[in-house]
Structure 1
Amino acid sequence: MDRQKLDYAVVIPAWNAAETIEETLRSVAAQSRPADEVIIVDDGSTDDTLSVARKAHVPFRPLRQEAQEGPGAATTLGIRSARTTYIAFLDSDDLWLPDKMERQLSHLAASPGIHGVFGHWQAFHGSPDRGLHAPTAGWSRTTLVVRKDVADAVGPMVDLAARVGDMIDWIQRAREQGYVLEMLPDVVAYRRVRPGSLSDVRTNVDRNRGYLAAARNALLRRQVAKAGK
């Protein structure tokens, strides 16, 4: 593996993540292929997210949005600031498995026609040691690795209703532009589910509004493209 060509940054959007950010950062530090840059984008937190993050003793570059704009806006800021060939993403309460980046970068190096790659993940409550849900395809920020130039070309991750659906919208736009995104069968991450979090379907009852908005945007783009032919 050509390590120079496979350099990568990790972009972590974080809002009031003091409870989980230290553990999340340690999962980055445990990678068999270390990150070349770690960027934490504080999305207007009102807790001590960045202070707690420093306790992990993992070097990172902090960026801050003074007002909470959403995970999509925070991720977009991180993409624009990254200086590496590839970018990986990690939500501030999720965890990477130690060989995640090694596996995904190796796959990208062997597959020049692939522009980005996702992986499977397993949900957990409290701690992975207490049990994991069955693996599912993680079409999510936490499992995505993509070329920096592709991320720039696709454009911003747009925050939709209920602060969900930004990844569905981004994936659809990437595919509309002809980029190939692949799902690996490997489990590469653990997804933390907490009451009140965006990932908790029991408490985030408005989440479907974000998914519907993503679908509606895709339909409008198709109609515009068809009208322009």
Structure 2
Amino acid sequence: MKEKSKNSVAVIIPLYNGAPWIEETIKSVLSQSLKPDEIIVVDDNSTDEGYEIVKKYKEVTLVKNEGKGSSMSRNLGTKLSKSRFIAFLDQDDLWHPSHLRLLRNALLDNSESNSVIAIANSFEKNPPKYDFTTKGCTYFDPWTRYPFTIGVEGPSVALIRREILFDIGLWEEKSTGMGDAILFLKLSSQKPLLKLQSCTVGKRVHAGSQWIAIRDWGAKYLNFRHQVMRSALDFRTNINSNDPFLPEFELKLKALKTLQHLTHSIAEQDHKNVVEYANLLETQLSNVTDTYMAHVFYCLMGALFPIHDSEKLKIERDHVFTELLKIWSDEAPKTKMAIQNLIGEKPLVS
């Protein structure tokens, strides 16, 4: 591929059995008001007709990934690209036509930032609802939610300077399935993460979503999350071992391990251990805000209920959480309140 202009943009799309969605996804890229200089689809040994669908589009460079996994596919696409800015798009997500233009302009106007993210809105059958009510950008630090959630809604929301991807070691391939979480934590360890206040991304939710499959591991999912978050904290520590926030992050990482044990006890209806882990979690998270505590239990929800249908999730969660309150430790009022507040709330399936 020839060298691109100094403000060029590449779009990288991993493909694996994405025949039901990939054509609509590609069309959302081709409809961008800022036309990308490169569109690279990396097929990860698909067994459906998705590969043949993509072949129809002469604007797309289609390559095979000889390895396995979306993170490896994104790395291959990044290495093949020559553009200054890299946008990643999942095979089932959609962009508003202004998406790339707004993100690139934001990075051009903010040279101190190495990446910018947009807001995403989840959708299932109906088209996504975009929102430009709020204009401009702010800074967002995903470490404020570490390690339970990070507040970045997947790879499809981001535009990243190509050079910083190589500086941080690209996508961590052993973390496929949570590669975006560690990527954005690494990026924000280097420079502030810029956040567009407009919703320009439609995040499709369906039974085949990768995050649904991973959360189906239950407590094992939280073990995997702990490994990924350990790696992210090690990266931050290597950058600055005198970082004053490191002890706080270490304690929160221990709380994630406690949440893993708690999830297993709830699933096994081991009431004695539920009380024990409730008390321990209360101690480990004694200084966090109510908002942070809510995200702790969003993480618990993800492990207990790997359901993409929001109504079904609400019914099952409310039933289990109502029963959980009956056995929850009275010595853990803050965590008990967090559970109480989630009952009846519309689930955030994204």
TM-score bracket for the superposition, by shorter chain length = 0.7 to 0.9
Q: Deviations over 1:108-167 (max 9, x none)?
A: 1111111110010000112316x79xxxx5442101101111112111212446x42111
**Bigger relative contact order (CA 8 A; separation at least 6):** 1
| Residue 163 of structure 2, aligned match among 149, 169, 192 | 149
Determine if contact 2:5/2:83 at 8 Å carries over to the other structure.
Answer: no
What secondary structure is seen at the aligned counterpart in 1 of 2:28?
helix
Distance 1:90 1:34 in 2: 15
Give the aligned partner of residue 44 of structure 2. 43
What secondary structure is seen at the aligned counterpart in 1 of 2:40?
strand
Distance 2:233 2:112 in 1: 27
| AA in 2 matched with 1:80 | K
Give the aligned partner of residue 122 of structure 1. 121
Give the aligned partner of residue 140 of structure 1. 154
What secondary structure is seen at the aligned counterpart in 2 of 1:128?
coil
Give the aligned partner of residue 28 of structure 1. 29
Q: TM-score of the superposition, structure 1-length normalised? A: 0.84
What secondary structure is seen at the aligned counterpart in 1 of 2:212?
coil
Determine if contact 1:193/1:199 at 8 Å carries over to the other structure.
Answer: no
Shift of 1:223: 5.7
Distance 1:78 1:179 in 2: 24
What secondary structure is seen at the aligned counterpart in 2 of 1:32?
coil
Determine if contact 1:158/1:166 at 8 Å carries over to the other structure.
Answer: yes
Q: Report which stretch shifted further, 182-191 or 208-217.
A: 208-217
| AA in 2 matched with 1:59 | E
Give the aligned partner of residue 309 of structure 2. none
Structure (1/2) with the larger strand percentage: 1
Shift of 1:209: 4.1
Give the aligned partner of residue 197 of structure 2. 185
Shift of 1:86: 0.7
Shift of 1:219: 3.3
Determine if contact 2:120/2:153 at 8 Å carries over to the other structure.
Answer: no
Q: 1:209 to 1:189 in 2, by over 3 A?
A: farther
Q: TM-score of the superposition, structure 2-length normalised? A: 0.57
Question: What is the aligned-residue RMSD (CA, Å)?
Answer: 2.6
Shift of 1:82: 0.6
Q: How many residue pairs end up in the alignment?
A: 217
What secondary structure is seen at the aligned counterpart in 2 of 1:112?
coil
Larger radius of gyration: 2
Q: Report which stretch shifted further, 140-149 or 178-187.
A: 178-187
Q: Deviations over 1:153-194 (max 9, x none)?
A: 111212446x42111111222233x23321211101100111
Determine if contact 1:87/1:145 at 8 Å carries over to the other structure.
Answer: yes
Shift of 1:208: 3.7
Q: How does 1:68-107 map to 2 (within 5 A)?
A: 69-107=68-106
Determine if contact 1:118/1:140 at 8 Å carries over to the other structure.
Answer: no
Distance 1:209 1:71 in 2: 20
Distance 1:210 1:93 in 2: 24
Gapped runs of 5+ residues in structure 2? 131-150, 243-350
| AA in 2 matched with 1:97 | H
Gapped runs of 5+ residues in structure 1? none
What secondary structure is seen at the aligned counterpart in 2 of 1:200?
helix
Structure (1/2) with the larger helix percentage: 2
Give the aligned partner of residue 173 of structure 1. 186
Give the aligned partner of residue 210 of structure 2. 198
Determine if contact 2:86/2:159 at 8 Å carries over to the other structure.
Answer: yes
What secondary structure is seen at the aligned counterpart in 1 of 2:39?
strand
